[in-house]
Amino acid sequence: MTKPLVSVVIVCHNDWPHLELAIESALCQSHQPIEVIVVDNDSSDDTEREIRSRFMDRVRYIRQANVGAAGGRNAGFAAAKGKYIQILDGDDVLAPNKIAIHVEHLEHHPDIDIVYGDFRTFRSTPDVPADSLFDIDTGDYPDMKQLLLGRCPGPPIIFMFRKSVVDRVGLQAEDVYYEDYEYWIRCAFAGCRFARTPGAWAFYRRRFGQKSEKMIRAALAELDVLRRARTYIEEEPYKKQLAEKVSRLEYAFAHYYLWSGDLTNAQRFLRAALESAPPHLKFAQSKVVGWLSRISFGPTLYGMFRRMRRLPPPFSTTFGGTKTAAA
């Protein structure tokens, strides 16, 4: 029986020499046939020269303006000829049998649209603490909608999906910081079904300054994704769950800005939290909003800021799943 073609879409921007390992990990998959599409978002390093001299007979190379990860993936999706699509960032790595495990599951379960596996984090520079590296068992979830409204199971590389998902859901949003998280939520509420395939490993490179390391920016990006989801999610109990999550995030930002001494943003996020809150949260939040609207910067508020600064910031943005220390 003829095996299905899988398209591996690699998006890169100044990722050489890490890109070499990413490409080789895609080309050397135990499943064949594979097409590797490298979308270069206007790299200024050696990417173009190295690919043209070493890989042009084995990959499809698209060079374009830097339109971000989503814009790169969308170009790759449009070029893909495969039945299935695997996303791979230019500094990450796939285990040799990852795609084979995913394909086997999808071929035997035509009702499943998107599969995901587990992942290991690794580093290539010492500025990433060793104690931040983990093996992540993403876990099985009977209700993916509920999970995604709480968190994203992992980075984009853990997923593989039918190309028909793109026809059904559309392209990734190019104006979102967490484009992959926004996409999986949209997929879930468009009726796509997810399944975990244990043993399908990917390797996620931790780098200083990457998206998941920018804690406040990441939390604001999560809030943006969830606010967008509120424009189309009407199904209960998810609508209520989403309203509570958005409100609690907005409330956490009010706490953070108060903790930081920014009264203007503290008031803004408290008012937003009150508007977003389901009824059981409104009463407590409305009292705090009223209190904040009456106070001004003075000795009392200054003392409160000093006390609150002794508390930890209210955010922690990491992927979920069961963590074990990387070997």
Instruction: Tell me which residue of 188, 158, 165, 4 sits closest to 77, measured CA to CA.
Output: 165
Instruction: Tell me which residue of 83, 89, 105, 75 sits closest to 33, measured CA to CA.
Output: 83
Instruction: Confirm whether 274 is domain-assigned.
Output: yes
Residue 93 sits in a domain of what CATH number? Answer: 3.90.550.10
Do 96 and 153 belong together in one domain? yes
Do 298 and 186 belong together in one domain? no
Instruction: Tell me which residue of 241, 277, 245, 278 sits closest to 145, measured CA to CA.
Output: 241
Q: Which residues contact 304 (CB under 8 A, 6 or more apart)?
A: none
pLDDT at 145: 95
Instruction: Confirm whether 325 is domain-assigned.
Output: no
DSSP string, 203-253: EEEE-TT-GGG-HHHHHHHHHHHHHHHTTT---TTHHHHHHHHHHHHHHHH
Q: How far apart are alpha carbons 82 and 105 in whole angstroms?
A: 16
Do 237 and 207 belong together in one domain? no
Instruction: Confirm whether 316 is domain-assigned.
Output: no
Backbone angles phi, psi at 248, to 5 degrees: -65, -35
Instruction: Tell me which residue of 272, 262, 255 sits closest to 311, measured CA to CA.
Output: 255
Instruction: Confirm whether 220 is domain-assigned.
Output: no
pLDDT at 142: 86
**pLDDT tens-place values along the chain, 327 residues long:** 799 999 999 999 999 999 999 999 999 999 999 999 999 999 999 999 999 999 999 999 999 999 999 999 999 999 999 999 999 999 999 999 999 999 999 999 999 999 999 988 888 777 777 777 777 778 888 899 999 998 888 899 999 999 999 999 999 999 999 999 999 999 999 999 999 999 889 998 887 665 554 678 888 899 999 999 999 999 999 999 999 899 888 888 888 888 788 888 888 888 888 887 766 555 455 555 554 554 444 444 444 444 444 444 444 444 555 556 555
Q: How far apart are alpha carbons 36 and 25 in whole angstroms?
A: 10
Domain extent at residue 302: 229-308
Q: How far apart are alpha carbons 84 and 168 in whole angstroms?
A: 14
Do 192 and 254 belong together in one domain? no
Q: Total structural domains in the chain?
A: 2
Yes or no: say if 12 and 19 are a contact pair by the CB < 8 Å rule. yes
Do 10 and 146 belong together in one domain? yes
Do 21 and 61 belong together in one domain? yes
Do 209 and 238 belong together in one domain? no
Tokens representing residue 254 in the block: 């009010």
pLDDT at 323: 53
Residue 160, judged by CB atoms within 10 A of its CB (0-12, 13-18, 19+), counts as buried
Instruction: Confirm whether 185 is domain-assigned.
Output: yes
Q: Which residues pair with 36 in a beta bridge?
A: 8, 59
Q: Where are the beta strands (DSSP E) in 133-172?
A: 134-137, 159-162
Do 137 and 240 belong together in one domain? no
Q: Considering the entire predicted model, what is its pTM?
A: 0.84
Do 88 and 143 belong together in one domain? yes
Q: Which residues pair with 48 in a beta bridge?
A: none
Buried b (16+ CB within 10 A) or exposed e, 68-87: bbbbbbbbbbeebebbbbbb
Instruction: Confirm whether 302 is domain-assigned.
Output: yes
pLDDT at 147: 93
